[in-house]
Amino acid sequence: MYFVIDIGSNTIRAVVFSVEKGDIRPVLNKKYSAGLAGYIDKNDRLNEEGIALCLDILREISMIIAAFSFDGVFPFATASLRNITNSEEVVSRIKKETGLSVTILSGEEEAYFDYYGAVQGVEDASGILVDIGGGSTEIVVYNHKEPLVTKSLPIGSLNQYNQFVHGLLPTQAEIKSIQKETEKYLSQLSVHRRAISSEVLCGVGGTARAAQKLYNRIYHLDKEHCFYERCFLKKVLGMKWEEKKLMETILRNAPERIHTMPPGTPILYTVAQHFDREKIMTSSHGVREGYLRYQLEKAGILNA
């Protein structure tokens, strides 16, 4: 059994994986809502309140680790600690107070591990992958199961919320501002919109999963159904987020995403539109599976 800790801008995940015959499967997945992106000060430092919150959660996780026997423990952080100016201080305090040695992934590494995890469960050998986190969005263009482009964009559901949304939920004008900001960064990517022939965009991460749950609920589909159309996202964006029926549906299916799905959806839609993808496929695998697989292959436990 292997323990993976994913310190993200929106949530901190503690996941126990079993590995059998080269197959990596989660057997326990505990999520802590942290919202660390909301504790960054004007100097781009994670403030003391945010550090304390992070340490409290990681202390609890370290107690779980101490109570059991694991073959390996792999803590890593993404934009939550990558995009702050006091990264070294925070990592040092985490090590001192919890015993956990946290690796901070670069944007390109995060994008690659997103791809490396998701591709294990994707049939298409070529395509485009997107992972919308709280503090960044990772884009991977791959062909014949080889990544051609791995990019991390400095836009995420939480930092876009903090930048553009002035009330509890975004207005139509604020949604358009998020879309415009997203397109600004997408236009800087050196990849043609139709570089890959597949019509499907592979979505990983919380925003993609929340949109899938919403779609399955509205259309009474089995929870294992993993496809929806781009036009569905456009329909959702045209709704008023404060409408009672829409909010009730989100609260029933992804209550922890009530503050990140509204700003995350316009990012997802804009990516699908930019690359002219008509369908989105939601993958249940992503950066955690990819990072663990990479570590086990490096150690010779799994075959590359």
CATH code, domain carrying 38: 3.30.420.40
The CATH number covering residue 196 comes to: 3.30.420.150
pLDDT interval class at 254 (50, 70, 90)? low
Beta-bridged to residue 95, according to DSSP, are: none
CA distance 111 to 127: 14
Please give the average per-residue pLDDT across 31-52, as a whole number. Answer: 93
User: What pTM was estimated for this model as a whole?
Assistant: 0.86
Quote the tokens at residue 107: 């944007």
Instruction: Classify residue 117: in a domain, yes or no.
Output: no
Cα 245–chain centre separation: 26
Judgement on whether residues 94 and 243 belong to the same structural domain of the protein = no
Instruction: Classify residue 159: in a domain, yes or no.
Output: yes
Q: Tell me the Ramachandran region of residue 26: left when phi exceeds 0, alpha when psi lies from -120 to 50, beta otherwise.
A: beta
CB 206 within 8 Å of CB 263: no
Instruction: Classify residue 77: in a domain, yes or no.
Output: yes
CA distance 203 to 235: 18
Beta-bridged to residue 280, according to DSSP, are: 201, 228
CB 15 within 8 Å of CB 6: yes
Judgement on whether residues 142 and 260 belong to the same structural domain of the protein = yes
Nearest to 71 by CA among 28, 29, 18, 116: 18
- pLDDT > 90? residue 27: yes
Judgement on whether residues 97 and 154 belong to the same structural domain of the protein = no
The number of helix segments (H) and strand segments (E) in the chain equals 11, 11
Residue type, 233: L
CA distance 111 to 117: 10
| Greatest extent of the chain over all pairs of C-alpha atoms, in Å | 53
Instruction: Classify residue 218: in a domain, yes or no.
Output: yes
CA distance 90 to 55: 9
CA distance 46 to 209: 28
CA distance 253 to 217: 8
Instruction: Classify residue 7: in a domain, yes or no.
Output: yes
Judgement on whether residues 154 and 83 belong to the same structural domain of the protein = no
The strand ranges marked E within 246-303 are 279-282
Tell me how many domains the chain contains: 2
pLDDT interval class at 240 (50, 70, 90)? low
Judgement on whether residues 93 and 145 belong to the same structural domain of the protein = no
Most trustworthy range by pLDDT among 112-126, 149-163, 182-196: 149-163
As a dihedral over the C-alpha atoms of residue 26, residue 28, residue 31, residue 36, rounded to 10 degrees, the angle is -60
pLDDT interval class at 197 (50, 70, 90)? low
Domain range for 215? 123-282
Instruction: Classify residue 292: in a domain, yes or no.
Output: no
Report the mean per-residue pLDDT for the chain: 88
User: What is the per-residue pLDDT across 169-183, written as a single tens digit (0 to 9) for each?
Assistant: 888 999 999 999 999
Judgement on whether residues 86 and 142 belong to the same structural domain of the protein = no
Judgement on whether residues 201 and 260 belong to the same structural domain of the protein = yes
Judgement on whether residues 68 and 130 belong to the same structural domain of the protein = no
Judgement on whether residues 134 and 260 belong to the same structural domain of the protein = yes
Cα 255–chain centre separation: 16
Q: Look at residue 223 in the predicted model and tell me its pLDDT.
A: 86
Judgement on whether residues 273 and 177 belong to the same structural domain of the protein = yes
User: What is the per-residue pLDDT across 271-295, written as a single tens digit (0 to 9) for each?
Assistant: 999 999 999 999 888 899 999 999 9
Judgement on whether residues 74 and 148 belong to the same structural domain of the protein = no
Instruction: Classify residue 111: in a domain, yes or no.
Output: no
Judgement on whether residues 248 and 157 belong to the same structural domain of the protein = yes
Instruction: Classify residue 28: in a domain, yes or no.
Output: yes
